[in-house]
Amino acid sequence: DAVSTGLATLRDELPLHLADVADHALGRLLILPAEHPEDVALETRRPRVQSTPVLPAWMPPSRILGGFHVMRPLGFGAVGSVFVACRVEDRTQRHPVRFALKVPEYGGDVAHTLSQDEFLELFREEAHALLAVPQHPNLARLVTFDAGARPKPLLVMELVEGPTLQRLIDTRVLETDRVLAILDGVAAGLEAMHAIGVGHLDVKPGNVILRASE
């Protein structure tokens, strides 16, 4: 039909690095609704059962990394961990300014391909590249990095509050205008990075965060 044809045309016109994001987001618009509308409502409202994240064994008892105090885990991946943190001097405040603390993890598959020195050098290169990225409304801002922090080096980023695009896709509640606006924001952020020769290298719905204010 006209909607399917229009979406397919749009997808073909997108740059290659946005193709997968478009497939996930636009593809949901072509899914037929559930036989009973109330099934969709139940699916989107049902609370997800999640286990409480546990701090890694290497975390100091003080939970202080560099000049930051870890408040809680945010996520764990194959090459690193992310925590919500605040500055050490602000940790007793009721509502401290919070940051996303990214800690690279040397081990697993990475250890089979890179020495620890090579891994740390890549970390420094990434940090310097992020420092060169201009502030942009569609990019999380790098606050600072500390390659000499103990027990592990760290990147401190702006904490973007809101759901991921993947979570929005999973609700199956997406309108064409909303999808196009999201893709436009993703493209604008990538354009700002590419303008100074920096690539994201891992663009996917789970790495696109929709600001809660938007």
Geometric angle at alpha carbon 23, from 182 and 168, rounded to 5°: 50
Write phi, then psi, for 95 (nearest 5 degrees): -130, 75
**Do the Cβ atoms of 143 and 158 come closer than 8 Å?**
yes
Alpha helices in 67-175 (DSSP H): 108-113, 116-132, 165-171
Mark whether 202 is an active-site residue. yes
Query: Which H or E run contains 1?
Result: none
Q: Which of 1, 117, 177, 202 is catalytic?
A: 202
Would you please indicate which residues are annotated as catalytic (active-site) residues?
202
